[in-house]
A and B are shown apart, each in its own frame.
Chain A
């Protein structure tokens, strides 16, 4: 991996972040309603003086360009602002909320991507058999069932079948490892199922493609076992589109996490950003979305690096 490649990607990353920050900055300000009206509330004694004072304190009276300039200047110095509501630095709020989301997303990728390889390989080999059809129907169901529905139904089932089991909320792993994992089971299933279904189908077709290639026949002809052919030769070639797809799926996963966190009452980034949007907590929305964007871009950057590891022909 040469440094020019790395530097090029980092420059790309900074442009993406800059673009996203401008977009988010404009979008949240285009939503009707403003932070001041919400903060003062309906039953407060709203005097024009108080509104003006608050707007001034929050810097909401400056032209948008000036507001953005201020924000960018501070952001470049590592200060992403303070939450309008709590007065705490937004990075503090994010650093608390990020862990449940990271855990949820990481476990879901692990389950979704990890299981998709054996399932996809199975589907490719057993093509046309009754078992394969059953799995394929399952995969289509997995793709079409929305996470929130699956989430609610699974909560309901657990409540009925395993009364007394805590399936909602979040406890940090460091505090109570068992309780943490127990509460992660249902959200991870709900979140990873669409990814698992999607990736299994992808692995299946990539495997079928690879298994039809000449080198597979050659490998079999020279006496390699079927297992070795499937896993050493065919799978390795099928992995390139798979890894690309995992990278893209992480984006959907982060979006899906917002819904799943909502359903399972997990205090993660999704809850944070949703709350921030409805409160018009501009600095918090801005920073959270930047963090999510940066994660997405970095994951895809890592995917690019993986290509080279999988396929020596892809170096630069």
Chain B
């Protein structure tokens, strides 16, 4: 009997290369932002999109963390440190076509400070008590106390059009700024597209026509997408991904020291952790280099309370005696604190690969001193409710001095003392400062990584495709 063969229809697939349109920089990131209002967003990805690209501040911070002019051309600070007078850049327009002037600056500051808007940035400029518009291009802030970090804080305060002052909704969906890129389209969970702002104040910039932020939750997909040229840039990738991408042809991994940190926080109201000697013992049990090698693939440096990226401020870790692993010393401290027998501790861990790896190494190291550490995964939503409950009058005084004194040497002395106190007996055993990595594809040139994690240099990026 003749066998009948059935033709199996295969799905006809037509793969066509997407029509090459204007130069689009495709950026892939993990999650979609909830909103784009620069005074309300806190999520890292939202800040990444809006800061420097859509919005600008009066000042800016460079990759070397120096404060430079941005929307303000220059400024004068009174001798007592209480008044700041800013001269604004002339001829700047917002994306909606309106002209930028001192009223917009005043409205933006008031907006951040308003309780109605409830901006999380409010504390950064809380000492500003008076805002005076002297002429359309001059604005003066009066402070109730000297506030040394003001100029660098202002880099993070986006200037929005004065009309938006009391509007809590509009900018979340359609941002309007003075930056090199203007908002074009938002496909929820898909992408956010920014296009070149033709009216940008620096002629000839930006060089690319469009920046498209794609939201790609799967890490492997982002990685393959970069390798295949589907995406041009992966901002803020984790150490394992950076290591894998480093060797691949055409891919550049840009790295800088991260200002963010990994730490073991201790609730000082819980059992033996309330004793400063026990906290010091915890520090002495840790071998930070081992953690970096084992869990961060060697990309990181041990650090204290301040990031080593803050070269002018952070003390070297050699200044902290407790940073040298010393199991016997730790045991002696525990004995002095009256702690005997195994100490049971619950450690809450964010369920991210790198933090979980760190936690396991820490668990081992603390075991040498008699700590029985139980690791419990906790999602971010609940993790943020964990607290240290540390309150120390001496430390508060030092921090107040640091904020209020404008003499650099005196500030440095105050922060040095605060670091020494916090490093060994504070509520946090600081572990390491990792590297901040951004990977770019073969077509991208002119990108410079910023240690704050912001994409400040997209304005200078050129694409060869």
Binding site for B on A (CB under 8 A): 32-35, 37-38, 41-45, 50, 85-87, 93, 96-97, 111, 115, 118-119, 121-122, 125-126, 129, 148, 152, 155-156, 158-160, 162-170, 178-179, 181-182, 185, 188-189, 226-227, 262-265, 267-268, 271-272, 274-275, 278-280
Contact of B224 among A86, A156, A164 (CB under 8 A): A156
A45-B120, A155-B224 known; A278-B189 Cβ under 8 A: no
Q: Interface residues of B toward A: which range?
A: 35 or more
B172 pairs with A118, CB closer than 8 A:
no
Determine the distance from Cα of A164 to Cα of B118 in the docked complex, in whole angstroms.
Answer: 46
Determine the distance from Cα of A93 to Cα of B217 in the docked complex, in whole angstroms.
Answer: 19
Contact of A185 among B6, B13, B169 (CB under 8 A): B13
**Chain B contacts for A115, CB-based, 8 A:** 8-9
From B27-35, B98-106, B364-372, the one touching the partner chain is B27-35
For the complex of A and B, the 6 pairs showing the least CB-CB separation, nearest first, are A33-B381, A159-B228, A267-B189, A33-B382, A267-B190, A44-B120
B214 pairs with A265, CB closer than 8 A:
yes
List 11 interface pairs A-B (beta carbons < 8 Å), by A numbering. Answer: A86-B34, A86-B35, A93-B188, A97-B189, A115-B9, A155-B228, A165-B16, A168-B230, A262-B217, A267-B190, A278-B379
Determine the distance from Cα of A164 to Cα of B18 in the docked complex, in whole angstroms.
Answer: 8
Which residue of the partner chain A has the closest CB to B18? A166
A178 pairs with B3, CB closer than 8 A:
no
Binding site for A on B (CB under 8 A): 3-9, 11, 13-18, 28, 31-32, 34-35, 42-43, 118, 120, 122-123, 169, 172, 187-191, 214-218, 220-221, 224-225, 227-230, 378-382, 384-385
Determine the distance from Cα of A279 to Cα of B189 in the docked complex, in whole angstroms.
Answer: 14
Which residue of the partner chain A has the closest CB to B220? A152
Determine the distance from Cα of A50 to Cα of B120 in the docked complex, in whole angstroms.
Answer: 12
Determine the distance from Cα of A111 to Cα of B10 in the docked complex, in whole angstroms.
Answer: 9
Smallest CB separation, A121 vs chain B (Å): 6
A34 pairs with B381, CB closer than 8 A:
yes
A37 pairs with B384, CB closer than 8 A:
yes
Q: Interface of chain B, helix or strand or loop or mixed?
A: loop
**Chain A contacts for B215, CB-based, 8 A:** 265, 267
Determine the distance from Cα of A17 to Cα of B384 in the docked complex, in whole angstroms.
Answer: 34
**Chain B contacts for A166, CB-based, 8 A:** 17-18, 230
**Chain B contacts for A41, CB-based, 8 A:** 42-43, 120, 384
**Chain B contacts for A165, CB-based, 8 A:** 15-18
Which residue of the partner chain A has the closest CB to B2? A226
A38-B384, A179-B18 known; A265-B221 Cβ under 8 A: yes
A169 pairs with B190, CB closer than 8 A:
yes
B217 pairs with A159, CB closer than 8 A:
no
- Not counting A166-B230, A226-B4, A262-B218, a sample of 18 additional A-B residue pairs whose C-beta atoms are within 8 angstroms of each other reads A32-B378, A33-B380, A43-B120, A45-B122, A86-B35, A87-B169, A158-B228, A159-B225, A160-B228, A164-B17, A164-B229, A165-B16, A168-B221, A170-B187, A264-B221, A267-B188, A272-B188, A279-B34
Contact of A121 among B6, B14, B172, B228 (CB under 8 A): B6
A37 pairs with B42, CB closer than 8 A:
no
Smallest CB separation, A180 vs chain B (Å): 11
Contact of B218 among A34, A97, A263, A279 (CB under 8 A): A263
Smallest CB separation, A235 vs chain B (Å): 12
A32-B379, A164-B17 known; A50-B118 Cβ under 8 A: yes
Smallest CB separation, B389 vs chain A (Å): 14
Determine the distance from Cα of A41 to Cα of B42 in the docked complex, in whole angstroms.
Answer: 7
Smallest CB separation, B20 vs chain A (Å): 9
Contact of B214 among A35, A164, A169, A275 (CB under 8 A): A169
Contact of A85 among B35, B187, B229 (CB under 8 A): B35
Smallest CB separation, A256 vs chain B (Å): 15
Contact of B14 among A37, A168, A182 (CB under 8 A): A182
B381 pairs with A263, CB closer than 8 A:
no
Determine the distance from Cα of A162 to Cα of B17 in the docked complex, in whole angstroms.
Answer: 9
Best-buried of A41, A155, A280 by chain B (most CB within 10 Å): A155
A275 pairs with B189, CB closer than 8 A:
yes
Determine the distance from Cα of A156 to Cα of B230 in the docked complex, in whole angstroms.
Answer: 12
Determine the distance from Cα of A192 to Cα of B188 in the docked complex, in whole angstroms.
Answer: 25
B230 pairs with A167, CB closer than 8 A:
yes
A125 pairs with B191, CB closer than 8 A:
no
A125 pairs with B4, CB closer than 8 A:
yes
Determine the distance from Cα of A159 to Cα of B228 in the docked complex, in whole angstroms.
Answer: 5
A43-B42, A156-B224, A263-B221 known; A118-B9 Cβ under 8 A: yes
Smallest CB separation, B294 vs chain A (Å): 26
**Chain A contacts for B384, CB-based, 8 A:** 37-38, 41-42
Smallest CB separation, B232 vs chain A (Å): 13
Which residue of the partner chain A has the closest CB to B169? A87
Determine the distance from Cα of A159 to Cα of B220 in the docked complex, in whole angstroms.
Answer: 13
